[in-house]
Structure 1
Amino acid sequence: MTNYICTTCGVQYESGITPPLHCPICEDDRQYVNPGGQSWTSLKEVAKQHRNIIEKISPDLYAIYTAPKFGIGQRAYLVISPGGNVLWDCITLLDPSTIDIIEKLGGIKAIVLSHPHYFSTIVEWSEAFQADIYVHAEDAHWLGRRNNKLRLWEGDIEPLWDQIKIVRCGGHFPGACILHWPVGDGILLVGDTIQVSPNLTTVSFMYSYPNNIPLPKKDILAIAFAVKLLQYNVMHGAFGLSIRENAAAVMDRSVQRYLQIYE
């Protein structure tokens, strides 16, 4: 029996003798099925051709990503905090080297997911570190695998510890979230619920990034409302792009830019 992984999105599914017929995440309008057709792999096979890079990007914050790129190429972030470390979002590859390095950094107390595109191999990570998995209940039906560490939360804010909290923004998915980490002047980890643009001076909001489907005005306003009262100066996105200062002003300016289009 194998827990098959979709090669396009990198999400792992419950074990079977043969691969699933479909990947629901890729068949959704927010993602895509590879033009060459649906294909599957396993964690063992991914580990043969890829490795993880763990990069310290600021005090007590590490980016974790896979080279060469696998799936959609997202990054996870490891937040080092006195009450327990948080893994924000997740990548597919988990190997002994990654486990060893993270254990030396204090392990993982919780894995927090921004939305289904980053569900990847969350059960594998959870079991390796005995970490709870936080997924917003509105996105629970997208889960490819579950375990007894899964914590489905509801509402708009889920406090963790050390004043870290998960904030539901919606938009990209109904349960799409960001993580607020109030160190220094405040940091937001946003996945692509809020997408940091390549110019590092604007952000974007989309229903589907690969298929270029915009969000309606009401969803952009809901995202803006969700972050309005948060104190932050830095924003880290899903694909290695970060805004290192004045991120709140960038957010406000970007929202206004979008709203002008709807006038």
Structure 2
Amino acid sequence: MAYDPHATDEYLVCTACGTQFPVTDRAALPTCRICDDPRQFTPPAGQSFTTMAGVRQKHHNVFHEATGGDERLTSIASEPKLAIGQRAILVRTPAGNILWDCLTLIDDDTVQRIHDLGGLKAIVISHPHYYSSHVEWAAAFDCPVYLRNEDREWTVQQSPRQVFWEGDDIQQVLPDSGALAIRLGGHFPGSQVFLFGSHLLIADTLVTTPAGLGSWATDALGTPRERPAGMNSFAFMWSIPNMIPLSGEEVFKMWSILKHHDFASTHGAFIGTDIVAPDIKQRVLDSMQIQTKFAGWARQDAWATV
């Protein structure tokens, strides 16, 4: 059947996390199960819902070209900020376009703009906080949406377009695309990153820190200087908003997978969290060692084996 954007106008959307529920009766949905999880929260004013029609009236999606300086990557974000405020990234591969992560808002303008850029062949989502309205996006572009089976319990809508990956930690997204989805775990059991060329799209599986974005190229007098020792670039969190870090053991497991892949840039969950640096992989490792050290991880000697 042809996609009808108005068929879901009255579907309820959590204002805190942006998850779309296939429910129109507010009495039938008193709380959001995503926000009731200890990794998330409800605002001080309490739980509230809007509708997809309400979202479309108040927000619009903005396309930011050349993410990280590469014309093949286009960031898309909703303005004004909607719920968590994450971006999606449209990745143009030789095998077709892939959308990394997802937004709640989908409207006629967004659909047309993406079709003008070549449409979508697939959607890949990092973790449940960004599931948003992925079922509707998949319907709009008649494409599969790839989720990790470890996080299946967090889906609040079902669709034949959902593909739940399991088993291998490394998945090729489309044949001949050069794009890999890599399960690192941590934030959620199925949390993924996305590797395309030299770009590592990290969402908040790796959380980009202010020190990671800071510049120490020169001092206040313009004199060249080096980045101070001991600065991290990333944090590794079980809950980002509630500031609960991952264990040293879990961080080490993440590195045991990621160490096999090379990259020259990282692209975080939000606009403005791109880091392009020749030593970025080393900075990931340094950040892991810093966090596990200050967390008192007893196996610090394990890093000597990496």
* Percent of aligned pairs with the same amino acid: 37
Separation in 2, partners of 1:255, 1:55: 30
The CA deviation string for residues 45-91 of structure 1, in whole angstroms up to 9 with x for no partner, is 01111111011122210000011101001011000112121100011
User: Residue 251 of structure 2 is aligned with which of 220, 234, 241?
Assistant: 220
User: Residue 90 of structure 2 is aligned with which of 78, 84, 87?
Assistant: 78
Q: Show the 5 A alignment for 1:58-69.
A: 58-69=70-81
TM-score, normalised with respect to structure 2:
0.82
Q: Which moved more, 1:93-102 or 1:253-262?
A: 253-262
Separation in 1, partners of 2:160, 2:133: 15
Q: Is the 8 A contact 1:123 1:147 kept in 2?
A: yes
Q: Tell me which residue corresponds to 2:292.
A: 259
Q: Which moved more, 1:33-42 or 1:113-122?
A: 33-42
Q: Is structure 2 residue 145 aligned with structure 1 residue 133?
A: yes
User: Residue 161 of structure 2 is aligned with which of 149, 165, 171?
Assistant: 149
In structure 2, what residue type is equivalent to 1:174?
A: P
Report how many aligned residue pairs link the two structures.
Answer: 260
Query: Secondary structure of the residue that 2:140 maps to in structure 1?
Result: helix
Separation in 1, partners of 2:42, 2:293: 33
Separation in 2, partners of 1:54, 1:238: 15
Separation in 2, partners of 1:133, 1:41: 24
Q: Is structure 2 residue 124 aligned with structure 1 residue 112?
A: yes
Separation in 1, partners of 2:250, 2:20: 29
Q: Tell me which residue corresponds to 2:275.
A: 243
Q: Is the 8 A contact 1:60 1:80 kept in 2?
A: yes
In structure 1, what residue type is equivalent to 2:132?
A: S
* Residue 198 of structure 1, CA deviation: 2.1
Separation in 2, partners of 1:14, 1:95: 17
Separation in 1, partners of 2:23, 2:138: 17
User: Residue 10 of structure 1 is aligned with which of 7, 15, 18?
Assistant: 18
In structure 1, what residue type is equivalent to 2:17?
A: C
The CA deviation string for residues 19-62 of structure 1, in whole angstroms up to 9 with x for no partner, is 51221110011000122111111111011111110111222100
Separation in 2, partners of 1:198, 1:51: 27
Q: Is structure 2 residue 184 aligned with structure 1 residue 169?
A: yes
Separation in 1, partners of 2:158, 2:51: 17
TM-score, normalised with respect to structure 1:
0.95
Q: Is the 8 A contact 2:23 2:29 kept in 1?
A: no
Question: Which structure 2 segments of 5+ residues have no match?
Answer: 1-7, 214-232, 298-306
User: Residue 47 of structure 1 is aligned with which of 56, 66, 74?
Assistant: 56
User: Residue 43 of structure 2 is aligned with which of 34, 41, 53?
Assistant: 34
Q: Which moved more, 1:11-20 or 1:152-161?
A: 11-20
In structure 2, what residue type is equivalent to 1:146?
A: Q
Q: Is structure 2 residue 224 aligned with structure 1 residue 191?
A: no
Question: Which structure 1 segments of 5+ residues have no match?
Answer: none
Q: Is structure 2 residue 214 aligned with structure 1 residue 206?
A: no
Query: Secondary structure of the residue that 1:199 maps to in structure 2?
Result: helix
The CA deviation string for residues 122-160 of structure 1, in whole angstroms up to 9 with x for no partner, is 011111111201000010110121211000010211112
Separation in 1, partners of 2:89, 2:211: 21
Separation in 1, partners of 2:25, 2:119: 33
In structure 2, what residue type is equivalent to 1:30?
A: R
Q: Which moved more, 1:46-55 or 1:193-202?
A: 193-202
Q: Is the 8 A contact 2:181 2:194 kept in 1?
A: yes
